[in-house]
Chains A and B, each alone.
Chain A
């Protein structure tokens, strides 16, 4: 076991983790943050996307120990029913959610894009969302939701 320090959703944690333990497992099993989903376990689907030090990563491809000293945002740290993030609001309103398994990862990729670039072009939105798969065929609405969230942010 090794000790790591993390800040997750603005709360500091000291955790003991196994050297081979993946970040997704530490988040889900040790911190109970079950909003991060595992779809493929090999970095193809993006369901496990989180934001680490301002960048999106697949938490299934990062060891918990590698995140030592990092600041993380998971879906639990983004919005709530009383005050949803513009991306979350747009996803619901546009109907960009079907089965919902890809949704947390999608929301985090979109949020991180808008954090960096409040006026993304359509192609920038496309690239930012390209690491997240949806199997219910909702890309059109997902991209539209991100665009609407971006426009809302401009006002």
Chain B
């Protein structure tokens, strides 16, 4: 197996084009998969030395996050805290301090586990993904990418994410078996625009419900443009339970998750609603 440590994105793309090697981000999933034999790469292109991929910055009304930003960096970023709160929250509970120091948001998407902690938040926040190949760049909504199989063609690099900054408020909640080191059994991310007591442009995404995290457009539409009150909350709960029931079908976890999602959904909403608000 060959191992490359390129210093620039261009070099990385060139290597991917010529070598059929696999991109290596933080490695907290890939190193394990290589040991168990689940993944047997022909070579590795370590992205760790490309500093431009680690950047977290605000540009022209968007929050831009490089794919190699670690969960720890995102979880400590003031900018992420203010502009992409759901993502910031997801970064606090993912794995353990050691894993957050190593694992990256791009790797989270590349590995694309059903329970990936970062994806529901990115979906709810309306993130776009920036992909690059030697042939060129592509920017597309994350939910569009997540509907592709395979997720990424050989030689496609996840450069980063672009989250629109438009005053949206967001929240996230995760159900795990314990606080630290718990793989999400269920996670919910919500983002809304508050117009007085009315909420608009509601986006709800679920994790650990099915093969990949997904955005429920139906639920978002259902809740958008309405007064945020208990009645709406209860309507949302019923709807999210229906979605989980449909997504999980007869899976063993379905009866549990169908009930549990009500609490996780309420908790996710509670994290965005200021105290004392309805």
Q: Which of B10-30 contact A (CB under 8 A)?
A: 24, 27-28
> Which of under 10, 10 to 19, 20 to 34, or 35 or more describes the interface residues of A?
20 to 34
- The answer to whether A58 touches B2, judged by C-beta atoms less than 8 angstroms apart, is no
Cα distance, A20 to B2, chains bound together (Å)? 9
A69, chain B: closest CB distance, angstroms: 8
- The answer to whether B97 touches A42, judged by C-beta atoms less than 8 angstroms apart, is no
Number of interface residues of B (CB under 8 A): 27
B270, chain A: closest CB distance, angstroms: 20
Say if the beta carbon of A57 comes within 8 Å of chain B: yes
Cα distance, A69 to B2, chains bound together (Å)? 19
The contact string, 1 if C-beta is below 8 Å from chain B, for chain A 56-67, is 111011110110
The contact string, 1 if C-beta is below 8 Å from chain A, for chain B 94-121, is 0111110110000000000000000000
Cα distance, A11 to B43, chains bound together (Å)? 30
Say if the beta carbon of A9 comes within 8 Å of chain B: no
Looking at the complex, which one of B3, B27, B96, B179 makes contact with A46 (CB distance below 8 Å)?
B96
Cα distance, A71 to B125, chains bound together (Å)? 36
B35 contacts across to A, CB distance below 8 A: 41
A53, chain B: closest CB distance, angstroms: 9
Looking at the complex, which one of A65, A131, A133 makes contact with B99 (CB distance below 8 Å)?
A131
Known A58-B96, A130-B180; further 11 A-B contacts with Cβ < 8 A: A19-B2, A20-B1, A20-B34, A46-B96, A52-B101, A56-B97, A57-B101, A62-B102, A63-B27, A65-B5, A109-B98
* Interface residues, chain B, with chain A CB atoms under 8 Å away: 1-3, 5, 24, 27-28, 31-32, 34-35, 43-44, 46, 48-49, 72, 95-99, 101-102, 179-181
Closest 9 pairs between A and B when the two form their complex, measured CB to CB: A131-B96, A130-B180, A19-B3, A55-B101, A131-B98, A58-B98, A19-B1, A61-B28, A56-B98
- A-B residue pairs in contact (CB < 8 Å), sample of 6: A20-B1, A43-B96, A61-B32, A63-B44, A66-B48, A131-B97
* Interface residues, chain A, with chain B CB atoms under 8 Å away: 2, 19-20, 22, 41-44, 46, 49, 52, 55-58, 60-63, 65-66, 68-69, 109, 127-128, 130-133
